Amino acid sequence: MEKLILSILKNPRKKLFVILIVLASMGGAVMMIPTKLVLAKMLPGKSANTYTIYIDTATNASIEETQKVTTCVVERLKKEKEITDMEVYLGQGAPLDYAGLVKGSALKSLKNQAEIVINLTDKHHRDEPSYMLVHRLRPEIQKGCGSLTPNTSIRFTEMPSGPPTLATIVVELYAKSDKLLRRASVQVSDILGQTEGLVDIDIMNDDLYTKYDILPDKEKVIRSGLGVDQVNQIIYLAFQGMPVAVKNTQNQQDQVPIFVRLNNETRTVAFDSKEALEVKLSSLRLMNQMGMMVPLSEVMILKESESSPTIYRKNLKKMVTVTAECDMVSQVYPLLEARDRMINQLSVDYEVRKVEGINTYMFDLELKDKKTGEELLVRWDGEMKVSLDTFRDLGGAFIAALVLMFLLMVVYYKSFALSGIVLAGSFLSIIGVIVGHWVTDKIQLYFTETNFFLTATSLIGFISLMGISARSSLLLIDFSRSLISEKGMEKKAAIAHATATRAKPIMLTAVAIILGSLLLATDPIFGGLGIALIFGSMAATLVSLFFIPVLMDNTKAMLPDDYCFDEDMPAKSTWCTLTENIGELFYLRRKEECE
């Protein structure tokens, strides 16, 4: 070991070779991310014991229609032996969970809404992870049950492995005009539908349907001795019904309401048409002040009109949301693909402009209608935004960590060059992190056909790795320095000797970390962290044992302050000429001195 290091240090060509290898692998590893050899994602999916199916039928659907869909879904799921029980919640949300909290499950109270909670057998005793189950059942159920009633959306909600979001992909459309919003939202959802890997596409907007307005003829109402109030009440009582009184029973200490409504046979209207409704209303009669019966149709006019859909706003602007889920793929790539498609396809109708600047809204698009000149903003939110925010913050944390560490080193060594070496050494563990992900991805693809992603936890692993590899470099530098100053060893020999002696604890640490992370690597969420630590510390060990000595040899700061250059001229020239990278950058004053 000692000889090997010494031979490298003594031969400038070998040194150059080591530096080149390191730089090349560094460049190669970093390039793996843009070339999609390693895929990035915020958090991977995790197998759970439960999932929820959200069902939304058309806005004007009846509870019976919604029930038809839920029954269909339940019937199809009865074939699955891994399902222990299913709870259907019609016209309401299921008991709230973290996902439901963000997805607005608590606010569900309409006839067209339903949720089905599916409980599965324990994940440890089940071969098929829940996300595979969903992946398999989704197309079958959507195809089989989605067409039962018009405008039905069936969405599968898995337990999020990290913090929940409204949906994996959320496209927010902002514009002033309802018509433009409605048209654009359909276009956007079509584009998302064409994109591979995106499923459960849903436009959060009410469907338009025909409704009927009753216009009371004021003059006739007054002349026939009725009140508009009375008309309103009776119509409501007849068709919706209401409790008119409560009673306390003797044997049961409950207030029991008495509810009045027309019976089901006479309440129903034959068809969804104006005429049928008119016929029904004419048979309903009101009693006026004089005790005479007046048919309702006498005092009112029926008009067809368009339904008034719910208006959604976010941060004071009118908005329509289109959501989509990713089916076992990272959200990054489908999003970019869909965005490219949008730029292409929407430029037929709109002038498309990308939003400038780099921030976490950098994928947004600004559209301008070519005909009307109305403007529309397409904003990407959801998991992508959270990921970008997280990666940005973690990146910031990483830079802060670098700066803090550098400052600490500078205080400790009083030398920029040595601090630079420590920093460079710790930064290089990224080679291991990225290559490790690539290797794991390939292995996992081979066995389970699912990708292994570079996730936020990988980044956390990388940050903690920096500290670990800094420690190795530090020990090396300290030991070599004390060898030079206390034992008076020659620099190259001292470095080689120090590396050889310190190799054992450095490798021991690495082995401890690798073994410690093995179980971590099998976890779905923290797998990235585990892989980052395992491969990163391998890389860090190699870097500390071969690259750091080379760098150390290239700086003069290794020598103690009172080590004077006059006693060793040839060595000095080597130092001075070979202080390439870091020494040259940071240590100008010392260099002048030495020349």
Partner 1 sequence: MEKYKIKNIAGHLAKAFLSNPLTMILAVAILGLGYISLEVMPREEDPQIQVSGGSVIVAIPGATPQEITNVIIKPLERRIREIKGVEHVYGTAMNNVGMINVQYLIGQNREESNLKLYDKVMQNMDQLPTGTMPPLIKPFDIDIDIPILTVAFYKLEDHHDMDTISLYKTIREIQQNINALENVSKTTLKGVKRPQFNVLVDLDKLSAFHISLGQVAQAIKSISGNAPMIDTPTPEGKLVVFGMRNAIDDIDDLKDLIIAQYMDSPIYLKSIASIEYSYDIQKYDSSQIVYQKGFEDKVHKYHEHHEGAEHNKIEFRDAGDQITMTVSKLKGTNAVIIAQKAIEELNRSKEELRKHGVGFIVTRNYGIRANEAVNELVHHLVLTIAIIALILVPFLGWRESLVVTIAVPMILATTLFLAMITDQTINRITLFAFLLSLGLIVDDAIIVIENIHRRLHMPDAKDKTFNEIIIEATDEIGPSTNIATIAIMLTMIPMAFVGGMMGQFMKPIPLNVPVALGVSLFVAYVFAPYLARKLIKYEKAGEHH
Binding to partner 1, residues 262-281 (CB under 8 A): 262-267
Residue placing its CB nearer to partner 1 in the complex, 352 or 381? 381
3-state SS, 460-510, equals HHHHHHHHHHHHHHHHHHHHHHHHHHHCCCCHHHHHHHHHHHHHHHHHHHH
Least Å distance between CB 347 and partner 1?
A: 30
Cβ proximity of 257 and 245 under 8 Å: yes
By CB under 8 A, tell whether 463 contacts partner 1.
yes
1 binds partner 1 (CB under 8 A): no
Contact 48, 130 (CB under 8 A): yes
**Residue 309 contacts partner 1 per CB under 8 A:** yes
Position 299 contacts partner 1 (CB under 8 A) = no
d(CA 571, CA 520): 48
C-beta of 13: minimal distance to partner 1 in Å?
32
- Of residues 212 through 231, those in contact with partner 1 by CB under 8 A are 230
Instruction: State how far Cα 213 lies from the chain centre.
Output: 44
Angle between helix 63-77 and helix 130-145 axes, rounded to 10 deg: 130
Lookup: tokens for 520: 């971590």
For residue 358, state whether it binds partner 1 (rule: CB under 8 A). no
Instruction: Give the whole-angstrom CA distance, residue 67 versus residue 89.
Output: 10
The CA-to-CA distance between both ends of the chain, in Å, stands at 34
Q: Which of residues 104-123 bind partner 1 (CB under 8 A)?
A: 106-107, 109, 111, 117, 119, 121-122
The amino acid that residue 459 corresponds to is L
Q: Say whether residue 13 binds partner 1 (CB under 8 A).
A: no
Residue written as token pair 């390693």 = 38
Query: Does residue 127 belong to the site contacting partner 1 (CB under 8 A)?
Result: no
Can residue 39 be called a binding residue for partner 1 (CB under 8 A)?
no
| Region binding partner 1 by CB under 8 A among candidate stretches 145-153, 244-252, 348-356, 547-555 | 244-252
Radius of gyration of the chain (CA): 35
| 42 forms part of the interface with partner 1 (CB under 8 A) | yes
Q: Which is nearer to partner 1, 35 or 315 (CB)?
A: 315
And the tokens for 5? 């290091």
Q: How far is CA 507 from CA 304, 314, 347, in A?
A: 81, 55, 58
The window from 4-12, 87-95, 215-223, 564-572 that contacts partner 1 (CB under 8 A) reads 87-95
Minimum separation from the CB atom of position 508 to partner 1 (A):
5
CB of 198 to partner 1, least distance (A): 22
Q: Minimal distance in Å, beta carbon 389 to partner 1?
A: 5
Instruction: Tell whether residue 210 is a contact of partner 1 (CB under 8 A).
Output: no
Measured from the CB atom, the residue of 126 and 135 that comes closer to partner 1 is: 126
Instruction: Kindly tell me which of 18 and 431 has the beta carbon lying closer to partner 1.
Output: 431
Q: Which is nearer to partner 1, 242 or 445 (CB)?
A: 242
Please name the amino acid found at residue 124: H
- What residues numbered 495-524 form the site for partner 1, per CB under 8 A? 504-505, 508-509, 511-520, 523
From the list 204, 53, 202, 201, the residue with the least C-alpha distance to 114 is: 53
Residue with tokens 């994928």: 363
273 or 283: whose CB is closer to partner 1? 283
Q: Tell me if 573 contacts partner 1 by CB under 8 A.
A: no
Binding segment toward partner 1, per CB under 8 A, in 141-149, 333-341, 388-396, 432-440: 388-396
User: In whole angstroms, what is the distance from residue 433 CA to residue 538 CA?
Assistant: 9
Q: Specify the stretch interacting with partner 1 by CB under 8 A; choose among 127-135, 370-378, 406-414, 569-577.
A: 406-414
Subset of residues 141 to 170 that bind partner 1, contact rule: CB under 8 A: 162-165
State yes or no: residue 443 binds partner 1 (CB under 8 A). Answer: no
Look at the block and give the residue holding tokens 């930064």.
427
CA distance 188 to 183: 9
> How many Cβ atoms are within 10 Å of 432's Cβ, its own excluded?
27
Provide the minimum distance between the beta carbon of 339 and partner 1 in the complex, in angstroms, as a whole number: 22
User: For residues 490 and 558, what is the distance between their CA atoms, to the nearest angstrom?
Assistant: 11
Among 208, 244, 301, 362, binds partner 1 (CB under 8 A): 244
| Interactions with partner 1, residue window 173-202 (CB under 8 A) | none
Tell me: does residue 253 bind partner 1 (CB under 8 A). no
CA-based nearest residue to 258, from 268, 249, 271, 267:
249
Beta bridge partners of 211: 305
Query: Cβ of residue 523: shortest distance to partner 1, in angstroms?
Result: 8
The two structure tokens encoding residue 571: 């060595």
Task: Count residues binding partner 1 (CB under 8 A).
Answer: 131
What whole-number distance in Å separates Cα of residue 504 and Cα of residue 507?
Answer: 5
Among residues 332, 424, 503, 533, the one that binds partner 1 under rule CB under 8 A: 533
Residue 560 binds partner 1 (CB under 8 A)? no
* Half-sphere exposure in the Cβ direction for 26 (13 Å, CA): 15
Q: Show contacts with partner 1 in window 412-431 (CB under 8 A).
A: 412
